[in-house]
Structure 1
Amino acid sequence: MLRTFIAVDFPTEIITKIASITAYLQSQTPGKALKWVASENMHLTLKFLGDIHESTIPKLVRCIQEALRGQSTFNITIEGLGMYPNASQPRVVWLGIKDKGNLKQIHHELVKVLRDFDPDPEKRAFSPHLTIARIRQNVSRDVVQQVGETLSQFKVDSLGSFEIQTVQLFKSELTPQGPIYACLFSMPLNQV
């Protein structure tokens, strides 16, 4: 079984800016309350698939190609800082992703063609974002609130825009040191 997801990678110059912001935010938050996402693991998840059989990868690739057929390249902007579910009890810290609806359209198309791989798709509306940190388990409620209060004071202006040219299928291997991602397939956009 392979743990898989479909995502968009970020260019090196954007990752460098994000790493700079996260290093600063990390210096402002309590000790070990947050687990920060490593720079090399930063991506925008379009669709998490979970565990699939390796033998189904060719069919999965065909489905992704079908979903992306005719999709043009487009620009996104990294802008804004937020927390899920909210700033008073944050569990996830994220940077916002702004585009003209292309990401939601791609997500919709992926959900449509991937029903065989995900018969019970997530009910929440797709909200494009870049997770930069998660609250660690067993962190006290007071510390969680302190993290939310601290991070609420920061505003993240645009870290830049870039063109999305490809969508990738990744496998994820969970290790004690953190996840290791490997690209299984890359689909260029603007393919008819």
Structure 2
Amino acid sequence: MKKRLFFALNATDPLKTTFLPTYKKLKINADQRELAMKWVPLDNLHATITFIGPTEEENIPLLAAALEKVCANFAPFDLKIEDVSAFSNEHDARVLWLGVQNKRCLNTFKNILEQELIEQKLIAHAEERDYVPHITFARLRNPKSVKDMLSPFKRKSFGKIHVSEIVLYESQVQGNYTVYKPLIRCKLTGEVEKTSEEVFLAP
């Protein structure tokens, strides 16, 4: 049986508190504009690192082992959360998101993790598009302009998330909603921040 999997950072804490007032205001605004939207529950907020896709359940222990190997080389780090925006853009929006600091150590972690997954034949290749770390908090059923709705919250800071673990999630559809179930949690146990040149994974 295949499961739809991805690696991500859990962003519930502290966003469940710091983002809540803005989240409520945006929902009220969307209702007033009669926008058909699906809102991500605050306890499901996350920032995807690498999407794995449909995967045989028997491969989950292999994914866990690859994750543990990479996590052993990285120390915990902080990421600023600020700004609200939309994909594909604010005039033709399908997804609303919070910006995540595009820190070097996050990009290095993603690159090293994908290299390990490729070597273990768990993914075919690294993601080709530029990595834009973000936290999706709502989706529109049909593309709409949300520029005016988001403008009061541009460049607003929502604090920091402390990244001390990486999570392997399963994406599940339950009724009209998608929920994200954590399958594996792996602590970052390295001692210092690493650059891509400094990370060496023993075979």
The normalised TM-score by structure 1 is: 0.87
CA distance in 2, matches of 1:102, 1:149: 34
Q: Which amino acid aligns with 2:65?
A: R
Structure 2 residue runs without a partner (length 5+): 192-203
Q: Which amino acid aligns with 2:5?
A: T
CA distance in 1, matches of 2:131, 2:159: 22
Q: Which amino acid aligns with 1:51?
A: P
The normalised TM-score by structure 2 is: 0.83
Alignment of 1:122-133 (within 5 A): 122-133=127-138
- C-alpha RMSD of the superposition: 1.9
Q: Which amino acid aligns with 1:5?
A: F
CA gap of 1:122–1:165, structure 2 versus 1, over 3 A, is: same
> Which string of whole-angstrom CA distances, capped at 9 and with x for unpartnered residues, describes residues 8-42 of structure 1?
11253322222321111121222233221111211
CA distance in 2, matches of 1:128, 1:68: 18
Alignment of 1:41-60 (within 5 A): 41-60=44-63
2:201 alignment counterpart: none
Deviates more, 1:46-55 or 1:113-122: 113-122
Q: Which amino acid aligns with 1:59?
A: L
Point out 4+ residue stretches in structure 1 off by more than 4 angstroms. none
- What secondary structure does 1:28 align onto? helix
> Which string of whole-angstrom CA distances, capped at 9 and with x for unpartnered residues, describes residues 115-164 of structure 1?
2222144321111111111111xx3x6xx12x234323432421112321
Residues 1:34 and 2:34 are matched in the alignment:
no
Residues 1:25 and 2:26 are matched in the alignment:
yes
Deviates more, 1:34-43 or 1:70-79: 34-43
Identity, % of aligned pairs? 27
Residues 1:87 and 2:90 are matched in the alignment:
yes
CA distance in 2, matches of 1:149, 1:64: 41
Aligned length: 186
1:134 alignment counterpart: 139
CA contact (8 A) 1:88 1:149 kept: no
2:13 alignment counterpart: 12
Structure 1 residue runs without a partner (length 5+): none
